[in-house]
Chain A
Amino acid sequence: EVQLQQSGAELVKPGASVKLSCKTSGYTFSNYYMSWLKQMPGQNIEWIGNIYGGNGGTGYNQKFKGKATLTVDKSSSTAYMDLSSLTSEDSAVYFCARQGSWGNWFAYWGQGTLVTVSS
C-alpha cells in the first residue's frame, strides 16, 4: 500500500524558514516524481513544483521559485520542501503528492502539513 506521511504542523515567525518532510512507503521511491502543492484556507490548490526520486531533478512553478526548494533522501524514501522568508501569505496547508506513472496527475497524497506564519 502506497503511503505518504507528512511532518506535523508548524508555527513559524515571519522571515523564518521551515523544512517539511514527506516519508513514503509501499512503492519504489526512485521511479516516480513527487509534487508539492499549496492550499490556503478555503481556496484553490496551487502546484509548487516536483522532484524526481531517482536523480533529484526538479521543476518549479515560476511563482514559487526562490520560495520553495525541493530535495529528496533516497536512502529513507523521503521528500523535503524548504520554504524560506516566510510571510503571512505562506500560511497554508502543504501537500506532497506522488505523481502517476506518466504525466502530471496526482495518484497519492499525504495528509497535509499546516504551516502558520505568525509573530
Chain B
Amino acid sequence: DVVLTQSPATLSVTPGERISLSCRASESVDTYLHWYQQKPNESPRLLIKYASQSISGIPSRFSGSGSGTDFTLSINGVELEDLSIYYCQQGNSLPTFGAGTKLELK
C-alpha cells in the first residue's frame, strides 16, 4: 500500500497567516492526491481533488499543488474556522490516507 507522510503533525498558526502543509507519498501517485478537512466530531470534507483542482463551495484561500510524490496544501490567510485536522488521500491505487496535520491556535 502507498504510505502518505504528512508534516508537520501539528502546526500552530496565527489568523491571517499563509501556511503550507506537506504530504509525501512512498511512491508516485501522479496527481491522484486529494485533501480533506475534518473538525472534531464531524465527517471529513473534501477541499481539493487531483492535487490542485478546486471544489465548489470551498473558500478560495485553500489551494493545492504537486505531483508524483510531493504535495502541498496552502491556506492563504488562515481563519479561526480553519482550525481542524487536514488529511491527504491518494487514489492511484487502494485508497490510503495520511495521519493528518492538526492546525491549532498559536
Q: How many residues of B contact A (CB 8 A)?
A: 21
Binds A, one of B7-15, B66-74, B89-97: B89-97
CA distance A100 to B34 in the complex (A): 11
Asked whether any CB of chain B lies closer than 8 Å to the CB of A109, the reply is yes
Q: B: which residues have CB within 8 A of A?
A: 32, 34, 36, 42-46, 49-50, 87, 89, 91-92, 94-100
- Asked if A110 is at the interface (CB within 8 A of a chain B CB), the reply is yes
User: Given A45-B44, A100-B49, are A106 and B89 neighbors across the interface (CB < 8 Å)?
Assistant: yes
Q: Roughly how many angstroms separate A47 CA and B94 CA in the complex, as a whole number?
A: 8
21 contacts between A and B (CB under 8 A): A44-B100, A45-B87, A46-B97, A47-B95, A47-B96, A47-B97, A95-B43, A103-B32, A103-B50, A104-B91, A105-B32, A105-B34, A105-B46, A105-B50, A105-B89, A105-B91, A106-B44, A106-B46, A107-B46, A109-B45, A111-B43
